[in-house]
Amino acid sequence: DEREAVVSTQSTGENNRVLQENTEKLEATNNQLSSSVADLEAQAKKFKEVYEKLKKENEKLAEVRDQMQEQLNGFKKLQEAIFSQLNEKMRAMDRSLLEKIAADIEMMDAEQGLSPEEFDKFLKRVPTHLKDKFHKIADNFHQFDQNQDHVIDSDEFGAMLDQVMKEEGL
């Protein structure tokens, strides 16, 4: 029994020593983990600060984007207005040019209005960018000679130009 008690005491002492070593190792590991947790919490705090800064910057960028979109929309409206004015000016210039061509040709026979021969000469002098539409609408002299006097007078000519310009989208 004594021997068993001695062995048991030795065994208990050995167990206590092993337990003490394990406890010390666990405490060291626990200290390391606590230190790691503290470091991770500090990093998480820094990341949260960076996140908040980036979030604010993103909001600022969104405002800038919205302002730029407003400016772009303003520029588009301005561009549309400018092109609209240019188109109106081009229509007026085209019409004026056609009227000038007709006036130059009209008096070749010393009479007012366009005779069928003068009308043919007029069609030959129509600018290229208007020729297709012009010929589609105004190729038939008799169609525009409303009073059938074999002369397209200024009112008939104006009506023809109105129709050509409308067809052209001018």
The residues pairing with 152 across neighbouring beta strands, listed in sequence order, are: 114
pLDDT along the chain (170 residues), means of 10: 61 85 94 94 96 97 97 97 92 90 84 86 88 75 85 89 72
Q: What is the pLDDT of residue 26?
A: 95
Question: What is the rounded CA–CA span in Å between residue 17 and residue 26?
Answer: 14
The model's pTM: 0.55
Q: Got the DSSP string for the chain?
A: -HHHHHHHHHHHHHHHHHHHHHHHHHHHHHHHHHHHHHHHHHHHHHHHHHHHHHHHHHHHHHHHHHHHHHHHHHHHHHHHHHHHHHHHHHHHHHHHHHHHHHHHHHGGGSSSSB-HHHHHHHHHHS-HHHHHHHHHHH--HHHH-TT-SS-B-HHHHHHHHHHHHHHHT-
> Cα angle vertex 12, ends 11, 14, to 5°?
65
Instruction: Identify the pLDDT of residue 170.
Output: 46
- CB distance 170 to 90 below 8 Å: yes
